[in-house]
Amino acid sequence: MFLGIKNTLNQSDIKEKYDSKIIINTNSIIDKLISLENTFGTYLNLHKGWMSVPKNIVEENNIYDKGIFNANEVKSSDFLSKYCIKYLEGRDIHRYYIDEVEKYVFAKNIDNKTKSWHFNPKIILQRIVGQNKNKIFATVDLTNKIIFPNANLVNLNNSDDDVRFYLAVLNSNLISYFYNLYFGESNTNLTKLAFESIPIPNTVRLNKELYINKAQKLIDLNTNYQSHINRFLTLLLSKFTIVKASKKLQNWHELDFAEFLKELEKARKKAAKDTSREHAPLANAPLAYQKLTLSEEAEWMQYFNEQKQKAVELKAEIDKTDKDIDQMVYELYGLNQEEIAIVEDFTK
């Protein structure tokens, strides 16, 4: 038995069903999934990110010693604007959202086969998952971005299908649980073999719209949530001429006002100190640090609390929708309440 659930497989079953893997913690949950005939590979095809990112460019009398560029470089060059495409790395990809980044790669010479992978609806996910308990960090890209080698992209085998259905299943607690037990918690790379071996029930008669709508809702909620957090932070940095926010300030929505004020004043002192060093010899040097007055603190407290409350409400809706999808996936795979409790306990 494992965690209160009886293992229903004998040794010959294990050898056959588990492809001769050595699996210590087998149980009825794993048995249910392994018994399914279909896998993600039935419906999906995983590829590594573009492996031929150019290191230099010699094209049309244009010479560059690199192949990746920022937004200003691209906008200031007709040549680069013509051939550069936005790209994403693994660190830009999260569960149901993508960081807002302006990074471009020269893609004139990308081959047609690779281009078809990137220029179609796709699931994108981190490839190097490290020692995280949750190994799956995935979302979708419908805007034809190039994916770099430290991430994976997943295409549909049937173009009439919808990547958002598979995204909902992939990001669920159950698949995280299965991946950890079946492939091992020490598995740091999400490989093609591992991904395409994940079991999934036959989806022919399934109403996928329910999953698609929930996945899209999570994408929209996460986009709004991240935008809200970033807008507040951008205002803060601009208002007080802070060059770089500390980790705590970046996560301002997780602080109470006293903690936020303490971190803000610390950042303002540092900014004033750095600025005074730069302008010390000048007559028009910026004013030195001045602590916020009580009335200013009161204004910031009201604004901070309003913005934090909005962030809290968005996060609560994200968590609720996530749980809704988890319940739908449990039902899809036929888990009972005891098995659901095991998965929930493992992934919390």
The runs of H, that is alpha helices, within the chain are 11-17, 28-34, 40-43, 71-75, 78-83, 112-118, 163-170, 173-183, 192-196, 209-239, 247-250, 257-279, 294-333, 337-347
Residue at 330 is within a domain: no
Indicate whether 53 and 180 sit together in one domain: yes
Residue at 335 is within a domain: no
The per-residue pLDDT for 6 is: 45
Indicate whether 54 and 18 sit together in one domain: no
Comparing 65 with 127, which gets the higher pLDDT? 65
For residues 345 and 173, the answer to whether their CB atoms sit within 8 Å is no
The C-alpha atoms of residue 95 and residue 126 are separated, in whole angstroms, by 10
Pairing of strands 44-48, 84-88: unpaired
Indicate whether 49 and 163 sit together in one domain: yes
Indicate whether 136 and 26 sit together in one domain: no
Residue at 334 is within a domain: no
Q: Which of 45, 41, 52 is nearest to 149 (CA)?
A: 52
Domain that holds residue 160: 43-203
Residue at 294 is within a domain: yes
Q: At what angle do helices 294-333 and 163-170 cross, to 10 degrees?
A: 100
Q: Using the predicted structure, report yes or no on whether residue 20 has a pLDDT greater than 60.
A: no
Q: Using the predicted structure, report yes or no on whether residue 133 has a pLDDT greater than 80.
A: no
Indicate whether 195 and 238 sit together in one domain: no
The C-alpha atoms of residue 239 and residue 247 are separated, in whole angstroms, by 18
Torsion angle of C-alpha atoms 47, 42, 173, 230, degrees rounded to 10: 40
Tokens of 96: 């149901």
CATH of the domain at 114: 3.90.220
For residues 342 and 246, the answer to whether their CB atoms sit within 8 Å is no
Give the pLDDT band (50/70/90) at residue 285: very low
Residue at 268 is within a domain: yes
Residue at 60 is within a domain: yes
184-189-195 Cα angle (round to 5):
75
The per-residue pLDDT for 95 is: 95
Residues 213-227 have a mean pLDDT of: 98
- For residue 319, give the amino acid letter: D
Q: Using the predicted structure, report yes or no on whether residue 1 has a pLDDT greater than 50.
A: no
Residues 200-223 have a mean pLDDT of: 96
Indicate whether 241 and 276 sit together in one domain: yes
Indicate whether 53 and 24 sit together in one domain: no
Mean pLDDT (the chain, rounded): 89
91 DSSP assignment: G
Indicate whether 182 and 231 sit together in one domain: no
Which pLDDT tens digit goes with each residue over 135-145? 789 999 999 99
Domains identified in the chain, total number? 3
Indicate whether 53 and 197 sit together in one domain: yes
Report if pTM > 0.85: yes
For residues 219 and 96, the answer to whether their CB atoms sit within 8 Å is yes
Residue at 75 is within a domain: yes
Residue at 208 is within a domain: no
Sheet containing strand 151-156, strands side by side: 44-48, 151-156, 122-126, 138-141
The per-residue pLDDT for 25 is: 61
Indicate whether 129 and 275 sit together in one domain: no
Give the pLDDT band (50/70/90) at residue 275: low
Q: Which of 78, 103, 80 is nearest to 92 (CA)?
A: 103
Indicate whether 52 and 172 sit together in one domain: yes
Indicate whether 80 and 184 sit together in one domain: yes
- For residue 328, give the amino acid letter: M
For residues 39 and 22, the answer to whether their CB atoms sit within 8 Å is no
Give the pLDDT band (50/70/90) at residue 93: very high
Which pLDDT tens digit goes with each residue over 160-188? 999 999 999 999 999 999 998 888 655 67
The DSSP bridge partners found for residue 151 are 126
